[in-house]
Homo-oligomer: A and B are copies of this chain.
């Protein structure tokens, strides 16, 4: 039997997919080079050949995560600007809740934010500009507004992820998140 060599890109994708799987099931602590390689059906050295070791694997996973986060955020195409922005916020939260470990990893500072991260940020700014054009968002610097709104949304999601471990706080996450969105709406309204 002749063992065919798998194409390089295929192995790379398999490793990243395996990384996401391990991350979701075993957590950050279980994300070892050996575990990911085994899950992908590859020797541990594959992580060094196709990615740049563990750091490269992390960077690839985080980059992939930002791509998916951006896609989830811009998914809404509702014509009403208010519900479009609110849906974007809710989709953002849904992504974080569905990929808690990945989301935390993305903002853990473990690997420097790169291309995909700034792309996601740019998509957010585009959303803000859309809201400004519709007249429901105040006419400040869009980039600064993006950081302000993103801060609140990201903070709400982060705290919800942290509190989900025990029942530290008895407040309902969804209610708080909607309250944050309400506050943003009031605080960023024109005038």
Residues of A near any B CB (own CB < 8 A): 104, 107-109, 112-113, 117-118, 121, 140, 143-145, 147-148, 150-156, 158-159, 161-163, 165-166, 168-169, 171, 175-176, 179-180, 182-189
Contacts and interface: CB of A to CB of B under 8 A. Distances in A.
Contact of A155 (B145, B151, B169): B151
A88 B187 CA distance: 19
A171 B155 contact: no
Contacts of A158: 107, 151, 154-155, 158
Given A104-B109, A107-B162, A118 B168 contact: yes
Contacts of A140: 179
Given A184-B187, A187-B183, A147 B168 contact: no
Contacts of A168: 112-113, 117-118
Contact of A113 (B117, B162, B188): B162
Contact of A147 (B108, B147, B153, B176): B176
A11 to B, nearest CB: 28
Given A151-B156, A159-B151, A175 B144 contact: yes
27 contacts: A107-B158, A108-B108, A109-B161, A109-B162, A112-B168, A113-B162, A113-B165, A118-B168, A121-B169, A143-B169, A144-B175, A144-B179, A147-B179, A148-B176, A150-B159, A151-B155, A151-B156, A151-B158, A151-B176, A152-B152, A152-B155, A153-B155, A154-B155, A154-B159, A186-B186, A187-B187, A187-B188
